[in-house]
């Protein structure tokens, strides 16, 4: 019986050690991921748009699905690197900073067809520029707006096709 108890204790210790690894973050910092996840969930609920993951977006682009891909990063960043085929509709970091010009630029990038699939992205999951863009487009009556939360950083991690300098 003592051998059995020792075996159970050993298994329990190993199981706990496995759970205490680096977690979701390669750096072992789970708190920022939790914060970004909760913000993302709140944004999706408030914005009324669905999300698209990296692999699905790549599939859509590879299959040449009819869509508009909008990069909401500043013009300088867009010029350096972007997902292949993206157009620029820069958004500021905060909602308070959005100007009528920002909104017009975004709507021009989206085009007049409010039934077309539109995918909006920015830098990374915690970046909210894509949220502001997706929210504005949804409020303006675009029917098929998606937010790609991984952004350019997630896209580059998958080593998918890029444009830029």
pLDDT of residue 54: 97
CB 133 within 8 A of CB 151: no
Cα angle 58, 126, 75 (rounded to 5 degrees) comes to 70
pLDDT of residue 12: 37
Q: Is the pLDDT of residue 153 over 50?
A: yes
pLDDT in tens, 27-59: 778 898 899 999 999 999 999 999 999 999 999
Q: Does domain 23-164 have CATH number 3.40.250.10?
A: yes
pLDDT of residue 24: 63
Q: Is the pLDDT of residue 152 over 50?
A: yes
Cα separation of 70 and 132, whole Å? 12
pLDDT in tens, 57-106: 999 999 999 999 999 999 999 999 999 999 999 999 999 999 999 999 99
Quote the tokens at residue 96.
């308070």
Q: What residue spans define the domains of the chain?
A: 23-164
pLDDT of residue 100: 98
Q: Is the pLDDT of residue 14 over 50?
A: no
């Amino acid at each position: 019986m003592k051998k059995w108890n020792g075996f159970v204790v050993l298994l329990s210790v190993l199981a706990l050690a496995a759970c205490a690894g680096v977690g979701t973050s390669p750096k072992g910092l789970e708190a920022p991921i939790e914060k970004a996840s909760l913000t993302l969930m709140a944004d999706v609920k408030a914005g009324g748009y669905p999300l698209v993951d990296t692999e699905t977006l790549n599939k859509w682009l590879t299959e040449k699905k009819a869509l508009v891909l909008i990069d909401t990063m500043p013009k300088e960043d867009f010029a350096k690197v972007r997902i292949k085929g993206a157009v620029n509709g820069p958004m500021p970091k905060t909602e308070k900073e959005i100007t009528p010009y920002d909104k017009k630029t975004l709507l021009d990038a989206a085009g007049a067809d409010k039934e077309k699939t539109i995918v909006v992205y920015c830098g990374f999951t915690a970046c909210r520029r894509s949220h502001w863009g997706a929210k504005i487009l949804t409020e303006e009556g675009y029917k098929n707006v998606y937010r790609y939360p991984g952004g350019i950083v997630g896209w580059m991690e998958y080593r998918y096709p890029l444009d830029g300098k």
